[in-house]
C-alpha cells in the first residue's frame, strides 16, 4: 500500500518506488498487488467495472475498492469520495496547506489495506503487507487489532523520516486506535499520535531506501526523535537501495562522445554561452534540505572557472527568488522555476555533471539518472548518495573506479572545494572520459534491489 504511484500520482521518490517494485519483483516469483487512494487521477485511470470490496462507513462515508491494471500490474483503488475526490494535491490543497482531515484520509487507506490483508480479496490472500511512509503507518497496528498479525507479515519502509504523520491525541477514538498503545512504547510521540512511529513499533520488519540512511536513522542528527526506537529495532531494520527503470531512462547516446551535441543543444536552448568549463545541472525541490542555500554561496567557485549551472525546480520562495536573481546577474546561470519532465531529461542528457548537495538524502534518484547518462554526480556524503557514487579520491582514481565526486561536511566551503575539483577533473579529458564510462556502466537498475526485497519477503512469511 502506498499513497502515490507512478504514473498515476507523484510528489516524490516514493511514487517511483511504488510504481517500479511490482514489475521488478515479478521475475523473482513475487506477486504484488498495490492499493492506492482513489484520487481523481487514479479513478480516471481505473475502469469501474470490477468492484471487489465495499464498506458502508469508512472514516465518515461509503467506500469501495475497484480493481484495475497498469500494464501487467494489478492496482486496487480505494474509492472514497469524501476523502479523496477533491482538487489540489494528495496531501495539500491548492493554497499549499495540509488537508485538515489527512489523519482520517490515510487511516482509511491503512484500515482498508489491513482488512484486505486479513481477509484476502478476490480469493487472493497476501502473505506480506508492505507499508510505505507515514501514510501507511497505522496498517500494521490495524492488522494486529484484526487478529491477523500472526498470519500476515508487515514491512514498514521509511522513505523520509522527516514526515511522521503527527496528529493530536484527541484523535485516538476517531482513528480507531487502541488506547493501550498510547504510550512511549507504542504510537505516542511527545503527547501526540505519530503514524510513522506506529508503523515502526508494530511492523514485523523495517526497511529504508539505502544502507547508509539506515545507519544514519539511528543517530540523533538524522533520527528525528525516533533514533532510540530504531536502535532498539536495529536487528529488524535493513537498507535496500532504490533503483531506476532503465527502459524509461535510456541515454540517447551509447558512449561519452555522443553527449557533445546534447550539451551544445542544451546551451543553445537555455541561452548559456559556450564557455570552456563543465555544464552542471540541478533538478530538485528548492529547499534547505537539498542544500540549495549552500550552493548559492559556493557557486562562484564554479562560475569563476568557466563552469555553468542550469537549474530546474520549485520550492521555497526565498530560494526561487535568489536563484532567479543570480541568473539575471550572471550569464553562466540558467534557472527554470517549475517542473518539466522533458526538460529534466534534456538537462540530464546535456549536462556534464549533476549536483546533489543535500543535507540528508534517504536514497536519491537524480544521481542515478546522472550515472546512467554519464552526467557525473557531485553529491554530499550522506544516505543513498554515499552508497551509489564512487568518489574521485586518489584511491578511486588510481583504481580507475570513480564515478563522481563526494563532499563532506555539508558546508558551502566543502562544496566550493568540490566544485573546484570538478572543474580540474573536467579539464583532464582522459580522466573525465574514464569516469563517464564508469558511471554509464554502474548498476542503477532494480535488479539487485528487487532480489534483496524478494529475499526479505520470503524471510518474513509466517508459517501456515
Only one residue has cell 552542471, namely 280
Cell of 421: 575539483
What does the pLDDT read at residue 464? 67
Q: Are 244 and 250 in contact (CB under 8 A)?
A: no
Domains in the chain with CATH codes: 13-243+447-460 (3.40.50.2000), 256-441 (3.40.50.2000)
Only one residue has cell 480493481, namely 67
The DSSP secondary structure of 376-409, one letter per residue, reads: EEEEESSHHHHHH--B--HHHHHTT---BEEE-S
Q: Please enumerate, by residue number, every residue annotated as part of a binding site.
A: 10
Cell of 436: 563517464
Q: What does the buried/exposed string (b/e) look like for 38-55 if buried means 16 or more CB atoms within 10 Å of the residue's CB? A: bbeebbebbeeeeeebeb
pTM of the entire predicted model:
0.93
Q: What spatial distance separates the first Cα and last Cα of the chain, rounded to whole Å?
A: 23
Q: Are 116 and 91 in contact (CB under 8 A)?
A: no
Q: Please enumerate, by residue number, every residue annotated as part of a binding site for ADP-alpha-D-glucose.
A: 10
Order of all β-strands in the sheet with 308-315: 333-337, 308-315, 279-286, 353-356, 376-380, 405-407
What does the pLDDT read at residue 88? 87
**Total Cβ atoms within 10 A of residue 320:** 18
What does the pLDDT read at residue 12? 83
What does the pLDDT read at residue 255? 92
* β-strands 73-79, 63-70 pairing: antiparallel
Per-residue pLDDT tens listing for the chain (464 residues): 999 999 999 988 899 899 999 999 999 999 999 999 999 999 999 888 899 999 999 999 999 999 999 888 999 999 999 999 999 899 998 888 899 999 999 999 999 999 999 999 999 999 999 999 999 999 999 999 999 999 999 999 999 999 999 999 999 999 999 999 999 999 999 999 999 999 999 999 999 999 999 999 999 999 999 999 999 999 999 999 999 989 889 999 999 999 999 999 999 999 999 999 999 999 999 999 999 999 999 999 999 999 999 999 999 999 999 999 999 999 999 999 998 989 999 999 999 999 999 999 999 999 999 999 999 999 999 999 999 999 999 999 999 999 999 999 999 999 999 999 999 999 999 999 999 999 999 999 999 999 999 999 999 999 76
Please give the backbone phi and psi of residue 285, each rounded to the nearest 5 degrees, phi first: -65, 140
**What element of type H or E holds 202?**
helix 195-202
Amino acid at each position: 500500500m502506498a499513497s502515490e504511484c507512478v504514473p498515476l500520482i507523484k510528489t516524490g521518490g516514493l511514487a517511483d518506488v511504488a510504481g517500479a517494485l511490482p514489475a521488478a519483483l515479478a521475475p523473482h516469483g513475487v506477486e504484488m498487488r498495490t492499493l492506492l487512494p482513489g484520487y481523481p487521477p487514479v479513478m480516471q485511470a481505473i475502469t469501474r467495472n470490477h468492484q471487489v470490496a465495499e464498506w458502508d462507513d469508512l472514516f465518515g462515508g461509503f467506500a469501495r475498492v475497484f480493481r484495475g491494471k497498469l500494464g501487467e500490474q494489478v492496482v486496487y483503488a480505494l474509492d472514497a469520495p469524501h476523502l479523496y475526490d477533491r482538487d489540489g494535491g494528495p496531501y495539500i490543497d491548492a493554497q499549499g496547506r495540509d488537508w485538515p482531515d489527512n489523519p482520517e484520509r490515510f487511516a482509511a487507506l491503512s484500515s482498508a489495506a489491513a482488512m484486505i490483508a486479513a481477509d484476502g480479496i478476490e480469493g487472493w490472500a497476501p502473505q506480506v503487507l508492505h507499508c510505505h511512509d507515514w501514510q501507511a503507518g497505522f496498517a500494521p497496528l490495524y492488522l494486529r487489532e484484526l487478529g491477523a498479525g500472526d498470519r500476515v507479515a508487515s514491512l514498514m519502509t521509511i522513505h523520509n523520516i522527516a514526515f511522521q504523520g503527527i496528529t493530536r491525541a484527541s484523535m485516538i477514538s476517531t482513528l480507531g486506535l487502541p488506547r493501550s498503545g498510547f504510550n512511549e512504547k507504542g504510537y505516542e510521540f511527545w503527547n501526540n499520535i505519530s503514524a510513522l512511529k506506529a508503523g515502526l513499533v508494530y511492523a514485523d520488519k523495517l526497511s529504508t531506501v539505502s544502507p547508509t540512511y539506515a545507519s544514519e536513522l539511528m543517530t540523533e542528527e538524522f533520527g528525528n526523535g525516533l533514533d532510540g526506537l530504531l536502535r532498539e529495532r536495529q536487528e529488524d531494520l535493513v537498507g535496500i537501495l532504490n533503483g531506476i527503470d532503465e527502459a524509461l531512462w535510456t541515454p540517447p547516446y551509447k558512449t561519452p562522445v555522443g553527449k557533445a551535441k546534447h550539451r551544445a543543444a542544451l546551451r543553445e536552448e537555455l541561452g548559456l554561452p559556450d564557455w570552456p568549463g563543465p555544464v552542471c545541472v540541478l533538478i530538485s525541490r528548492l529547499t534547505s534540505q537539498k542544500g540549495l542555500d549552500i550552493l548559492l554561496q559556493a557557486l562562484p567557485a564554479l562560475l569563476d572557472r568557466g563552469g555553468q549551472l542550469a537549474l530546474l525546480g520549485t520550492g521555497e520562495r526565498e530560494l526561487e527568488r535568489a536563484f532567479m536573481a543570480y541568473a539575471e546577474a550572471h550569464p553562466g546561470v540558467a534557472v527554470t522555476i517549475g517542473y518539466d519532465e522533458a526538460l529534466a531529461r534534456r538537462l540530464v542528457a546535456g549536462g556534464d555533471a549533476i549536483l546533489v548537495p543535500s543535507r540528508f538524502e534517504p536514497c536519491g534518484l537524480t544521481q542515478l539518472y546522472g550515472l546512467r547518462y554519464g552526467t557525473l554526480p557531485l553529491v554530499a556524503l550522506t544516505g543513498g548518495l554515499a552508497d551509489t557514487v564512487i568518489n574521485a579520491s586518489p584511491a578511486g582514481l588510481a583504481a580507475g573506479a570513480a564515478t563522481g565526486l563526494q563532499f563532506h561536511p555539508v558546508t558551502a566551503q566543502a562544496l566550493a572545494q568540490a566544485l573546484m575539483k570538478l572543474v580540474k577533473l573536467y579539464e583532464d579529458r582522459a580522466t573525465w572520459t574514464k569516469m563517464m564510462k564508469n558511471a554509464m556502466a554502474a548498476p542503477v537498475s532494480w535488479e539487485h534491489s528487487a532480489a534483496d526485497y524478494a529475499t526479505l519477503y520470503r524471510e518474513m512469511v509466517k508459517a501456515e
